[in-house]
Structure 1
């Protein structure tokens, strides 16, 4: 079978480049060609790095000269969500308000990828201000799902998820407030990791509010790429205080556990309604882990039943995020403000009594998960309650119940409220041919546990190697 750089993962590309079996120029050009032919259907890419080929030639020259030690991603392209600053490359945050904005410095996460030798290929689409479960805005428009153009690739890292799924990029950076790297990964069938809160600095990412819920995380097509990216991205930067808190060793089991791993699986209660196909996929994933030697059993988590995490999040974040939106949109004409900001600005603030009650509920959720992880190494659960839905849906029907679109976050937001690490990986396909991912969660700072379990699932996956036909 002829080698195809478009659907090779970053780890393989790095090895082939390092051993001089393929040129980084060839790799970059192949991805640029793929974007040129296919992005018009998806609108996942919003800005091309005009110096990408020049940087690839420099990477090739460095290999030829042998004059410098090369990094683990030397010559490999990566893409970046357009809320993450990139030096000398447009970062417009999905809004005409920031049209033409060009940072002078890279975000810390971008700088670390570049220091590992990776080359920025392009910036990817997002909702206005990264604040929606659909990637649509007044500046760069709407992104489509490569599995079905009539469906959303999610948000807020929907452009990133669509780009990676469609072969525009092997690996990229997204951000996650309540769903935004894991949900889009599920809607397009790729993998993503939301590390423990603070593991990866948010320096150079906007908006920062509410800082205690925002995360930066890698998105890719293979688990080994997530592991590699996490090793590059994690660690304090001396600027983000939360990342200083996260300066501690991994608390997981690594890739060679010396005992049987304990995994609980859960599809409810506590997540709201879940589609039958999604529940069945979680159960199949549980069986796969059991067949691999894990101790697997269904569980309930009382804290999730007592305090609905989506409600807790919605009550907490408005008071913290609304001022940032008000500042960004101040004195702007109405035609430059998309519906996302308008909705936020018109949302009533949470009363002090309700805010304090929500804070206490968040603490109860943290306590509940601390108790859970005393008994189990990981939790297996849904990412989304349904596969990718149609664009612009104002209501969703899930397992016979009609709910508003925020319910797509019901199974992801508990791990933003608590700061727990969570990973999204495909393990099924809907009757309509859409990806279905499952979510793996571990205790704080135990990312190696879910990365190990995900690698097991990847090897056993019934959908390994499937690609969108676009």
Structure 2
């Protein structure tokens, strides 16, 4: 089920972060009122969702009171002054539990904020809670032995995805206006598609991974903002991006245009692709991608169907598995030594996976390079790619296999359209543009060239402006 509300008539817990910041800055509402509205919503809804695992109610209210005094004194205000935000529980938060979804790290409290959290706070945002995740962020289903399973606010019997599933469920359900997730293969964009919000994975290295575990394979890990509007993810991205002197992949200076509201000097060329390259895709998902393509054409873009030969030839998910297991296994083994009985089933299965032979590893690295070359050639002709995020809408909890258009595939197949962007480091954004026959969100994925996040954000803003599902919320 879903409800629709628009603009200023929305309750505070469904206002965008940018709208809340404006209301606070103009003294139409106090930071305490904003935080309290979210705390009330959390009390009403989180027992069903289990999206939040550590709630900072007292700390957030104290920070809100301090933020309110700053407003009244006329002090300079950050872009998110007084606005609450949440962070996935793999992201370090100073003096706040960061337990990585595992009993092995029960009670772990870091001393220092991750760079991404510190930058949100520097902009005036208030940390409200930590959100649930699969153990060590290693699953497309958000479940673990420490804090349990998260549920999709659109249908509690369906998954919100993983690994940033608690974050996506919290934002979709009105528990948080803005959050931080991480993405190794799917983990920001997939959960966003499952719950109907926006998840943005910038170019690899745009946002430092400092203070986030595991750090391997760091050439595939990304941090990304999650929210209910394009303006919110664009604003968060502008605050989060840039080197911190600690992450050797984050080296590009912080001078860029987010692209929202900008007018390109020529029509953007957009290719759209459903198949081949991603395998079987649910018919409703395919129709939603085509509808988004038609909407972009109507907005003045040059849009045409495309094929990307490298996607068909290199099998990105298979090569990703060959590469990342070899790097994750030592980190997992070290972290869990002596605590094997406390590990979740997915982590145990990963450690039991046979090592990739050296020759196969080298061949997979070479295939990853060819995939990058294939996308480089594609972006010589096109500004962006429009494609699915997931091959089907949110599915039932605990499935090991999926049936898509009559074809049975492993549940890991859910990553087929997202993992190519982790292997290559390309930026990608998930935005809802449709609804399934049983009321579940359907997202589409926008991809641009490396470092061209402004293109993705501009196109997302165009889609958002004509979206048939804008401002729909789950009826919780």
User: What CA distance in whole angstroms lies between the structure 1 residues aligned with 2:343 and 2:178?
Assistant: 31
SS where residue 163 of structure 1 aligns?
A: helix
Residue 192 of structure 1: CA displacement?
A: 1.0
Change (3 A) 1:40 1:252: closer
Q: Secondary structure at the residue paired with 1:467? A: strand
> What is the DSSP-based 3-state SS (H/G/I as helix, E as strand, rest coil) of the residue aligned with 2:136?
helix
Q: Is residue 48 from structure 1 mapped to residue 55 from structure 2 by the alignment? A: yes
Spell out, residue by residue over 1:229-252, the C-alpha distance to the aligned partner (whole angstroms, 9 max, x if none).
0000000000000001x3375498
**Aligned partners of 2:243 and 2:254 also within 8 Å:** no
Give the drift of 1:268: 1.3
Which residue matches 1:217?
A: 224
For residues 143-172 of structure 1, the C-alpha deviation after alignment (integer angstroms, 9 at most, x for no partner) is: 000000000000000000000000000000
Instruction: Kindly indicate whether residue 91 of structure 2 is the aligned counterpart of residue 84 of structure 1.
Output: yes
Provide the alpha-carbon RMSD of the alignment: 1.1
Q: Say if 1:331 and 1:24 are closer, same or farther in 2 by CA, change over 3 A.
A: same
Q: Give the Cα–Cα distance (whole angstroms) in 2 for the partners of residues 74 and 349 of structure 1.
A: 48
Q: CA deviation at 1:101?
A: 0.5
- 8 Å Cα contact 1:429-1:435 kept in structure 2: yes
Q: Tell me which of 85, 92, 101 is aligned to 2:108.
A: 101
Partner residue, 1:59: 67
Helix, strand or coil for the counterpart of 1:241? coil
User: Which residue matches 1:242?
Assistant: 249
Counterpart Cα distance in 1 of 2:434 and 2:269: 23
Matched residue, 1:355:
361
- The 1-side partners of 2:358 and 2:340 are apart by 32
Instruction: Report the counterpart of residue 227 of structure 1 in structure 2.
Output: 234
| Residue of structure 2 equivalent to 1:189 | 196
Query: Which position in structure 1 is the counterpart of 2:173?
Result: 166
1:333 CA drift (Å): 4.7
Q: Could you tell me the TM-score, scaled by structure 2's length?
A: 0.97
Q: CA deviation at 1:428?
A: 0.3
SS at match of 1:243: coil
Corresponding residue number in structure 2 for 1:35: 42
> How many Å separate the matches in 2 of 1:41 and 1:102?
26
Distance 1:263 1:400 in 2: 30
Q: TM-score, normalised by structure 1?
A: 0.98
Mapped contact 2:177–2:228 kept (Cα < 8 A): yes
Q: What are the equivalent positions in structure 2 for 1:31-430 lying under 5 Å apart?
A: 31-49=38-56, 50-66=58-74, 68-244=75-251, 246-247=252-253, 249-250=255-256, 255-334=262-341, 336-430=342-436
Structure 2 distance, partners of 1:22, 1:412, is 39
**Correspondence for 1:4 among 5, 11, 15:** 11
Q: 1:469 aligns with which of 436, 451, 475?
A: 475
Q: Distance in 1 between matches of 2:112 and 2:257?
A: 33
Distance 2:162 2:114 in 1: 20
Q: 1:252 to 1:22 in 2, by over 3 A?
A: closer
What is the CA distance between 1:340 and its match in structure 2?
1.5
Matched, 1:435 2:441: yes
Q: Is the 8 A contact 1:251 1:444 kept in 2?
A: no
> Does the C-alpha gap of structure 1 residues 248 and 3 become closer, same or farther in structure 2, counting only changes over 3 Å?
closer
Where do 5+ consecutive residues of structure 2 fail to align? 1-7
User: CA distance change for structure 1 residues 231 and 253 in 2, over 3 Å: closer, same or farther?
Assistant: closer
